[in-house]
């Protein structure tokens, strides 16, 4: 890294201000990090704080009064028994020994992705509980090259009524299948058309890195986004980031050099371009 930095400074490719305050000696001691390792860290990152259990509300409807007990049938299939209560005529509600219905919280356990079947995965991806859907999207990675997995995950990714954080996870998972036409079309369609949340656009640009590594079509798509189409600065830098895997090719390489050497780019964009250009295949 120190050699690359020195060479760039001497060549005039990078202004010295870009590296102002950087501890080059410390950076030189760091081992090179493989791009795949970093991608896995990004895509498999977990919140370090304990996660709350997945809960939902179970509606239980009164069915019968038996042995001084109120019996309720619940949507989950459970039969609930509650003691009868003395009627409260002053409560302003219909008096009776048993309530008409009650709601109770129930904990839903997560699932073991290693043992999940295709039909179970599809059901979980359609679950009414958003936390279950999010967990299912994350756990779909080992199966994402199969159409029974990537098609419902694409549906989640494209669904504008879905929670944004779940759509972001869908983009991460689909990045493992970015060689498939349906996935590529979903990514480029979202970036070309409509107004979508910034965080979703950012992760979608990054998810195209694999397609750009092997296809000039997606290299051109990212280059055009950087040069002409993408107006949001952070999303534009995400497109620059995605070019690291194809920086050994002439057109991406030329763009990355131009971003650093010419134009009125901010330092964050120049640094992202240097990282993508200097070590193709590494970040």
Q: Which residues of 58-79 are buried (b: 16+ CB within 10 A; e: fewer)?
A: bebebeeeeeeebbbbbeeeee
- Out of 19-28, 36-45, 157-166, 202-211, pick the least confident: 19-28
- Check if the beta carbon of residue 174 is closer than 8 Å to that of residue 143: no
Q: How far is CA 82 from CA 74, 91, 102, 193, 228, in A?
A: 13, 20, 10, 55, 66
Top CATH class of 38-45+110-278 equals: mainly alpha
Domain ranges of the chain: 2-29, 38-45+110-278, 55-107
Average pLDDT over residues 201-229: 93
Residue 53 — very low, low, confident or very high, per pLDDT cuts 50/70/90?
low
Question: What pLDDT shows up at residue 44?
Answer: 55
**Which tokens go with 114?**
């290693």
Residue 245 — very low, low, confident or very high, per pLDDT cuts 50/70/90?
confident
**pTM reported for the whole predicted model:** 0.60
Q: How far is it between the farthest Cα atoms of the chain?
A: 91
């Amino acid at each position: 890294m120190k050699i690359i930095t020195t060479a760039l400074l001497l060549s005039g490719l990078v202004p010295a201000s870009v590296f102002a305050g950087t501890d080059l000696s410390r950076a030189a001691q760091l081992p090179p990090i493989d791009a795949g390792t970093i991608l896995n860290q990004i895509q498999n990152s977990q919140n370090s704080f304990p996660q709350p259990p997945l809960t939902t509300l179970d509606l239980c409807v009164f069915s019968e009064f038996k042995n001084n007990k109120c019996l309720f049938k619940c949507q989950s299939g459970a039969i609930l028994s509650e003691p009868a209560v003395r009627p409260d005529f002053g409560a302003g509600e219909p008096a009776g020994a048993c309530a008409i219905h009650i709601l109770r919280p129930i904990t839903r356990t997560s699932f073991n992705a290693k043992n999940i079947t295709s039909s179970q995965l599809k059901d979980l991806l359609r679950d009414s509980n958003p936390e279950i859907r999010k967990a299912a999207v994350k756990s779909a990675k080992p199966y994402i090259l199969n159409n029974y997995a990537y098609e419902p995950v694409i549906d989640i990714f494209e669904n504008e009524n879905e929670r944004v954080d779940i759509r972001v996870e869908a983009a991460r998972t689909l990045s493992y299948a970015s060689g498939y036409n349906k996935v590529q079309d979903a990514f480029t369609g979202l970036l070309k058309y409509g107004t979508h949340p910034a965080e979703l656009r950012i992760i979608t640009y990054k998810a195209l890195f694999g397609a750009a590594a092997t296809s000039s079509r997606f290299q051109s798509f990212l280059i055009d986004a950087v040069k002409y189409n993408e107006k949001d600065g952070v999303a534009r830098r995400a497109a620059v980031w995605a070019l690291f895997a194809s920086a050994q090719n002439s057109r991406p390489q030329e763009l990355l050099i131009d971003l650093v050497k010419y134009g009125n780019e901010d330092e964050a964009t120049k640094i992202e371009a240097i990282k993508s250009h200097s070590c193709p295949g590494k970040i």
